[in-house]
Amino acid sequence: MSEKFDVIVVGAGPAGTSCAYTCAKNGLKVLQIERGEYPGSKNVMGGVLYRKQMEEIIPEFWKEAPLERPVVEQRFWMMDKESVVTFGYKGLEWGVEPYNNFTVLRAPFDQWFAKKGIEQGVLLITETVVLECIVENGKVIGVRTDRPDGEVYADVVVLADGVNSLLGKQLGYHNEFRPDEVALTVMEVINLPKEKINDRFNLEDNQGCTIELFGDSTKGNLGTAFIYTNKESINIGVGTTLSSMIKAKLKPYDLLDYLKTHVMIKPFLEGGESAEYLAHLIPEGGYHSVPKVAGNGVLLVGDAAQLVNAIHREGSNMAMASGKMAAETIVEAKSRNDFSESTLNIYREKLYDSFIIKDLEKYKDAAHTFENHPQYFKDYVPMMNQAASKFFTVDGTSKREKQKQIMRSITGERGTLKVLQDMYRAWKAVK
Partner 1 sequence: MSTKTIEEKQYLIRFKADKKSHLTVLDHDVCMTKCPDKICTIFCPAEVYKWEGLRMQVGYEGCHECGSCRIGCPYQNIKWEYPKGGHGIVFRLA
In the complex, least distance from residue 176 CB atom to partner 1, rounded to whole angstroms: 7
Q: In the set 9, 71, 124, 250, which binds partner 1 (CB under 8 A)?
A: 250
Judged by CB under 8 A, which stretch of 70-78, 248-256, 395-403, 417-425 contacts partner 1?
248-256
Residue type, 273: E
Q: Buried b / exposed e across 237-274, counting CB within 10 Å, b at 16+?
A: bbbbbbbbbebeebebeebbebbbebebbeebbeebee
Q: How far is the CB of 266 from partner 1 (least distance, A)?
A: 9
Tell me the β-bridge partners of 130: 145
Whether a cis peptide bond, with omega within 30° of 0, leads into 374 is no
3-class SS letters over 27-75: CCCEEEECCCCCCCCCCCCCCEEEHHHHHCCCCCHHHCCCCCCEEEEEE
What is the bridge-based pairing of β-strands 233-241 and 182-191?
A: antiparallel
Q: Per rule CB under 8 A, is residue 319 in the interface with partner 1?
A: no
CB neighbour list of residue 390: distance below 8 Å, 6 or more residues apart? 402, 405, 406, 409
For partner 1, the binding residues in 136-175 under the rule CB under 8 A are: 145-147, 163-164, 166
Percent helix, strand and coil across the chain, each rounded to 5?
Answer: 40, 25, 30
C-alpha distances (whole Å) from 175 to each of 129, 181, 192, 240, 294 are: 21, 12, 43, 21, 16
Give the shortest CB-415-to-partner 1 separation in angstroms. 34
Nearer to partner 1, 142 or 285 (CB): 285
User: Per rule CB under 8 A, is residue 210 in the interface with partner 1?
Assistant: no
Binding of partner 1 by 194 (CB under 8 A): no
Q: Which of residues 44 and 160 has its CB atom nearest to partner 1 in the complex?
A: 44
275 is a contact residue toward partner 1 (CB under 8 A): yes
Q: How far is the CB of 192 from partner 1 (least distance, A)?
A: 10
Tell whether residue 274 is a contact of partner 1 (CB under 8 A): yes
CA distances from 154 to 12, 82, 89, 117, 428 (A): 17, 58, 48, 18, 45
- Count other C-beta atoms under 10 Å from residue 200's C-beta: 16
Q: Is 31 in the site for partner 1 (CB under 8 A)?
A: no
Q: Smallest Cα–Cα separation from 369: which of 417, 304, 426?
A: 426
Among 209, 281, 305, 321, the residue binding partner 1 under the rule CB under 8 A is 281
- In angstroms, give the least distance from the CB of 66 to partner 1: 11
Question: How many residues at the interface with partner 1, by CB under 8 A?
Answer: 59
* Contact between 288 and partner 1 per CB under 8 A: no
Instruction: Tell me how far, at minimum, the Cβ of 109 lies from partner 1, in Å.
Output: 9
Q: What is the full DSSP assignment across 327-365?
A: HHHHHHHHHHT--SHHHHHHHHHHHHHSHHHHHHHHTTT
Closest approach of partner 1 to the CB of residue 163, in Å:
7
Q: Which of 83, 120, 126, 375 binds partner 1 (CB under 8 A)?
A: 126
User: Is there binding between residue 35 and partner 1 (CB under 8 A)?
Assistant: yes
Helix (H, G, I), strand (E, B) or coil at 182: strand
Classify burial at 378, counting beta carbons within 10 Å of its beta carbon; exposed 0-12, middle 13-18, buried 19 or more. Answer: middle
Is the Cβ of residue 190 or residue 410 nearer to partner 1 in the bound state?
A: 190
When asked if residue 313 is in the footprint of partner 1 (CB under 8 A), the reply is no
Which CB atom, from 46 or from 286, has the smaller least distance to partner 1?
A: 46
Position among 10, 44, 79, 325 found at the interface with partner 1 (CB under 8 A):
44
HSE-up of residue 244 (Cα within 13 Å, Cβ side): 28
Sketch the per residue contact string, 228 through 247, with partner 1: x for CB under 8 A, - otherwise: -----x-x------x--xx-
Kindly indicate which of the ranges 5-13, 211-219, 276-284, 355-363 contains the residues binding partner 1, using the contact rule CB under 8 A: 276-284
Instruction: Give the footprint of partner 1 on this chain (CB under 8 A).
Output: 35-37, 40-47, 105-108, 126-129, 145-147, 163-164, 166, 176-179, 182, 184, 186-190, 233, 235, 242, 245-246, 249-253, 257, 260, 269, 272-281
